[in-house]
Amino acid sequence: MITLVFATNNAHKLEEVQAVVGDRFHILTLAEVGCNDDIPETGNTFEANAAQKSAYLQAHYEYDCFADDSGLEVDALGKEPGVFSARYSGSRDMEKNIDLLLQRLGENPDRHARFRTVISLRIGDREYFFEGSVEGDIGFERRGTGGFGYDPLFTPRGFSKTFAEMTAAEKNAISHRAIAVAGLADFLQRHY
């Protein structure tokens, strides 16, 4: 059994990862290793933030570990909100974050955007990155009640429903996070 710490306390993310990597890997959350720290996340890129979180964890808790960072990039807004996705409006209130995004985009016909996830895995002194992204378009208004975050605004390319109108299974079949996690799981199964 190989034990890895995942830099999250989000039970939903843990479940998703544990299901994909299988039971040869025991994935612990931050709470399970006694980490209550506010782990620094001060990078300008998803890669930098994921790497910063995994480095912090390995340095302080001496476990092999991985960390992720995700967000939405809207082309017409210079790839905002990007690493500021969770706090775009200055708070974690997603209603406010979505309102601000719609206001900044206005009637701009260029609605192209993507969700991205980057995972940094540290095993011993080596670091590996896994990435997933999904291209799509930002709507002019919210549609759907499922998912979380910016899902009511995001329609993946080739689909007519927003992420918030899809079932969890439909979203997980194509999502940025699922693609990155599949890369991580594939790597772990081949090398460990």
Binding residues vs ligand ITT (CB under 6 A): 8, 10, 69-72, 85-86, 115, 147-151, 163, 175, 177
List, as one string, the DSSP characters of 149-186: TTGGGEEETT-SS-GGGS-HHHHHTT-HHHHHHHHHHH
| Least distance in angstroms from the C-beta of 190 to ligand ITT | 25
In whole angstroms, how close is the CB of 141 to ligand ITT at the nearest point? 16
Indicate the residue among 167 and 189 with the shorter CB distance to ligand ITT: 167
> Considering beta carbons, is residue 16 or 127 the nearer one to ligand ITT?
16
Q: Closest CB to ligand ITT belongs to which residue?
A: 149
Q: Which structure tokens are listed for 94?
A: 């997603």
Catalytic residue from among 38, 64, 69, 137: 69
In the bound state with ligand ITT, the residue whose beta carbon lies nearer, of 21 and 30, is 30
CB 82 to ligand ITT: min, Å: 9
| Beta strands 154-156; 126-138: pairing state | antiparallel
Min. distance of Cβ 87 from ligand ITT in angstroms? 8
d(CA 134, CA 26): 28
69 catalytic residue (yes or no):
yes
Tell me whether residue 15 or residue 24 sits nearer to ligand ITT (CB atom): 15
The Cα 169–Cα 145 span in angstroms is 15
> Nearest 5 degrees, angle CA 188-CA 133-CA 94?
110
Give catalytic residues, as residue numbers. Answer: 69
